Amino acid sequence: MLSQYAFILIMAAIALVLPLAAIILGHILGPRRPDAVKNAVYESGVETIGDTWVQFRAQYYLIGLVFVVFDVEAIFLFPIAIAYSQLSLFAVFATIFFIVLLVIGLLYDWRKGALEWQ
Amino acid sequence: MQGSTWSDGIVGLLTGLGLPDMLALGIAYGIGAFILVNFGMVSALLLIWITRKAISRMQDRLGPNRLGPYGLFQTVADAAKLISKEIITPSQSDFLAYNAAPILSVFGVLILLAVVPFAPGLVGMDLNVGVLFVVALGSIGVMAALMAGWGSNNKYALLAGFRVVAQLLSYEIPMVLSILTVVLVTGTMSFGRITEFQSLTIGGFNLGIGWLGIMMPAAMLIFFISSLAEAELTPFDLLEAESELIAGFHIEYSGMKFAMFFLAQFVNAWVLSALMAVLFLGGWQGPGVGLPVIGPILGLGYFFIKSYAIYVLQQWVRGTFPRIRIDQMMYFAWKVLVPASVALIVVQAIVQKLPVPDPVIYAFIFLANIGVIWVVVTALQRYIKSATMGTKRSFEPAGLIGTMQKADTYAMY
Amino acid sequence: MPELPPLPTISQLVFTGFALFTCASALGVVLARNLFHGALALVATLFGVAGLYVMLEAEFLAVSQVLVYVGAIATLITFAIMLTRSMMYGKTSPLNRQWGKTGLFAVMIFLALYGFVGSIPWADSAPAVLADESMIAALGVEFVTNYVVAFEVMGLLLLVALVGAVMLARDNN
Amino acid sequence: MVPLTGYLLVGAFLFSAGLYGALARKNAIAVLMSIELMLNAANINLVAFWRYGDTPADLTGQVFAVLIIALAAAEAAVGLALIISVYRERKTVDLDELDLLAG
């Protein structure tokens, strides 16, 4: 198994180095004449006012939240899915109960409007 | 190591030259990985050409037609132009985040090619956790978008970066759940074994058309829609909506760094089509892949035909549909696709434990899929009707609201 | 003539690489003045730990680590950094008054653990393990047989997280 | 073969670094990140002892590691939600300035 991941490691190294090489090549081949206006932040021709870190709506965080919970659900369900043919009826019931718990959570968020984009 | 793979030949050759085993394997892997990565980067040129041709035909244009046959070398010229462009680094950008983002964005896509099965025995590495590997490393793209958005020190870029992340996260869940339905049927996470599962042997001859997509059309549809969103293609391209966000999280990038984001986007779209081909359309399976010599070559052909056909289908959707709003994007992911895929999983979990022979189970799964599609389409029709009426109402004089005789006739327009 | 130590094997070299990478990124997490850089260092650390899991032949754990930590938790943390404008604090010191004492304490804890770990003759080699898909299947079986209570409690915990966190984080207006 | 000591030392280092961060950082989110480091340290030890134990066929170590990953996810989700809601009230996430109970 480790030799399989050796391939992944080698591939990862190459997949990191090639784009880096392409960008460095672009730096070498391209001209380099920076000036203050060219390097300024683009904002449709207007000068930027204030911080970039304007405050964001909590909606983005809520999406991330629901995503985390379902992601965790997925890592539990994948091994169970692989072993599915060996499972007893009790195990199947337990799995479905687990899914139902999360569906309740999703329905709660739905009713509370957490999934709406106000 | 299971079965015979592409690396065996190279390893045999090198050990024949007297190299130690480890070194031979390392060199073989290095060659394979190098070819795979380069295939990914070069295929982007072809993919961009296909996109341009497909979209321009849909818009009654010719598309690129000057350089080379059918304008095939146009993208090569574009690449040469991009590489000789000045790379502008905005002042006050964050060095680490700004420069690492384009590289990571390409890396996150190219590494996925390692587990895509091209033909029997021709897969970078058939991992036991192949399916989860793809989903997990897909999240590098999310990080890259956040890094680019934040590192550019530009309000539009950061806003677009946030939108990208919201969209990618929302549609990753239906995608994972639709993959889970496949894993539930096949009982494996390795792409090689999922492909082998989809054979259909009759009388000792592998017809290779036991595709899961035939049995699970709803899961396939969910996967396809989520892959459109993950590839940031048009119905879901609100993260680069030119009219609102100028270009997306890569506004401040130029030259080769911009090209890297561009490349990642196109290759990502193709990798997602290839995954759909493998998961639902049998990958390299097709009539005659069981034959001794010609089989793998046929398999490679089937795989490329399927994956590029799905890629063209994606472009077709892209050229046809209008862009959806962010609230509709959220609505569709969480209130349509996620419940539908959860329902599929629960039904499948029950059906697969019924004490009946496999074909009956498959028939039940097919019926469940059709049922889910029917429910979703009905619900969506109702939503579209009410949304259309809402829009109509808001355009009518206030005094007329409520005096309408037949609301349904308005919805028809 | 003293005997030279044996050359490190490839797996030892790779392990050393991952270990150094993980530890350096972990230092980056706690020392970075810029909180976003700290979050990026956290992502690097988590990748390093995933690499260590692969070296331990726990591939399912490695992908779960990347999926949940890098894909989800790190993104949440970044969102929270942006939402609370924590980047603004870069001007003042990121550390509180007791950082000196704490640092000393942490170093002492590490040295104590180091001495403890070093003093016990742990196994130098592990028994062979069949790390194929049947192991992941066995993991799935464990969830719904021996550890079914923990599994359902985890489901309940996730439900509570889903309900509670949404109540906390929602815009009230 | 890498000796078990190597993994344990990495775990010990991650734990100590996390401990330092959790106690010395002012920003609440930084504290949370440090706690994630400590959880990871525990996980490394669990998996390493599973691998080097006498019976790797017994998957208890891996099961607990998965449970801890899930726990960390729930903890991060609720913790960050708390931090965000505190930020709304007090406009700061600096733990030195948060002294609601000090009166």
Interface contact flag, A76 D70, Cβ < 8 Å? yes
Instruction: Please say whether the beta carbons of B249 and B105 come within 8 A.
Output: no
pLDDT, tens digit, 9 for 90 and up, residues D26-82: 888 889 999 999 999 999 999 998 888 887 778 888 999 999 999 999 999 889 888
Residues D81 and A110: their CA atoms lie apart, in Å, by: 18
- pLDDT digits over B213-254, tens only? 888 999 999 999 999 998 887 777 766 665 566 667 777 787
Residue A106 sits in a domain whose CATH number is 1.20.58.1610
Touching A: which chains, 3+ CB pairs < 8 A? B, C, D
**pLDDT confidence of residue D35:** 93
Nearest CA in chain B to C87: B150
C79 shares its domain with C139: no
Structure token digits, residue C74: 């790190």
Q: Report yes or no on D98 lying in a domain.
A: no
Question: What was the ipTM of the complex prediction?
Answer: 0.89
Q: How many residues in chain D?
A: 103
Across the range B81-94, mean pLDDT stands at 80
Question: Which B positions 213-242 lie with beta carbon below 8 A of chain A?
Answer: none
**Domain contains A70:** yes
Helices and strands: H and E segment counts in chain B:
17, 4
Q: Using CB atoms, which residue from D66, D70, D81 is nearest to A65?
A: D81
Whether B94 sits inside 8 A of C36 (CB atoms) is: yes
Q: What is the pLDDT of residue B413?
A: 43
H or E element: which one contains C83? helix C74-83
Our answer on whether B and D touch (3+ beta-carbon pairs < 8 Å) is no
DSSP state of C34: S
The predicted structure's pLDDT at residue B41: 87
Q: Which of B81-95, B336-350, C97-111 has the highest mean pLDDT?
A: B336-350
Query: Is residue D26 situated within a structural domain?
Result: yes
Is A93 near chain B, with CB under 8 Å?
no
Question: For residues A65 and D80, what is the distance between their CA atoms, to the nearest angstrom?
Answer: 10
The pLDDT, as a whole number, for residue B246 is 65
Chain C stretch 105-164, residues whose beta carbon is closer than 8 A to a beta carbon of chain A: 131-133, 136-141, 143-145, 148, 151-152, 154-156, 158-159, 161-163
CB contact under 8 A, D70 and A71: no
pLDDT of residue B221: 92
Distance (Å) from the C-alpha of residue A27 to the closest C-alpha of chain C?
25
Mean pLDDT is lowest, of B24-38, B157-171, C21-35, C92-106, for: C92-106
Can you tell me the mean pLDDT for B334-341?
Answer: 90
Query: C76, C91, C106 — which closes off a domain?
Result: C91
In a domain, C19, yes or no: yes
Count of alpha carbons within 13 angstroms of residue B129, beta-carbon side? 28
Query: What mean pLDDT is predicted for residues B279-290?
Result: 84
Give how many domains chain A has, as a whole number: 1
Interface touch B139/C82, C-beta < 8 Å = no
Can you name the residues that pair with B201 across neighbouring β-strands? B206
Task: Give the minimum alpha-carbon distance from B73 to chain C in angstroms, rounded to a whole number.
Answer: 38
Q: Taking CB atoms and an 8 Å limit, are A60 and C68 in contact across chains? A: no
> Does residue C95 carry a pLDDT above 50?
yes
Q: What is the pLDDT of residue A95?
A: 92
How sure is the predictor about C87, in pLDDT bands with cuts at 50, 70 and 90? Answer: low
C37 to chain A, closest Cα gap in Å: 15
Predicted pLDDT of residue A104:
92
Q: Which of D46, D49, D93 is nearest to D72 (CA)?
A: D46
Q: Band the pLDDT of B340: cuts 50, 70, 90.
A: very high
Q: Which residue range(s) make up the domain with D83?
A: 4-93
Residue of chain C minimizing CA distance to D40: C49
Separation in Å, CA of A10 to nearest CA in chain D: 20
Query: In terms of C-beta distances under 8 Å and separation of at least 24 residues, what long-range contacts does B119-123 make, across chains too?
Result: B119/B284, B119/B296, B119/B297, B119/B299, B119/B300, B119/B303, B120/B284, B120/B289, B120/B295, B120/B296, B120/B299, B121/B3, B121/B4, B121/B5, B121/B6, B121/B296, B122/B5, B122/B6, B122/B296, B122/B299, B122/B300, B123/B5, B123/B191, B123/B192
Structural domains counted in chain C: 2
Question: What mean pLDDT is predicted for residues B61-84?
Answer: 82
> Between C106 and B90, where is the model more confident?
C106
**Residue D43 lies inside a defined structural domain of this protein:** yes
pLDDT tens across B187-215, in order? 888 998 898 888 887 777 777 778 888 88
In a domain, C83, yes or no: yes
CATH number for the domain spanning D26: value is 1.10.287.3510
Residue A117 lies in a domain: no
Output the pLDDT for position B405: 46
Q: Give the domain extent around C86.
A: 8-91
A residues 32-71 lying closer than 8 A (beta carbon) to D: 58, 61, 65, 68-69, 71
Q: pLDDT exceeding 90 applies to what percent of chain B?
A: 24
Q: Which residues from B are below 8 Å from A11, CB to CB?
A: 29, 33, 36-37, 110-111, 114, 124
Residue C7 touches chain D, beta carbons under 8 Å: no
CA distance D78 to chain A (A): 9
Question: Is C69 within a domain?
Answer: yes
CB proximity list for C14: less than 8 A, separation 6 or greater? A9, C55
- Residues C157, C87, single domain; the answer is no
**Which of B111, B188, B253, B324 should be substituted to probe chain A, the one whose Cβ sees the most A Cβ atoms within 10 Å?**
B111
**Do the chains contact at C141 and A101, CB–CB below 8 Å?**
no
Range of the domain at A62: 2-112
Scan residues 74-113 of A and list those with Cβ closer than 8 Å to D.
Answer: 75-76
In a domain, A118, yes or no: no
Contact B156, B127 (CB under 8 A): no
**Residue of chain C with shortest Cα separation from A61:** C79
In a domain, A40, yes or no: yes
**Where is pLDDT greater, at D86 or B2?**
D86
Encode pLDDT of B124-146 as tens digits.
788 888 899 999 998 898 889 88
Mean pLDDT in residue range A44-63: 68
Who's near B45: CB < 8 A, 6+ residues apart? Answer: B75, B76, B79
Nearest CA distance, A50 vs chain B (angstrom): 10
Residue B27 CA to residue B14 CA, distance in Å, equals 9
Structure tokens at D19: 């401990």
* CB atoms D70 and A65 under 8 Å: no
Q: How far is D77 from chain A (nearest CA, A)?
A: 6
C86 lies in the same domain as C138: no
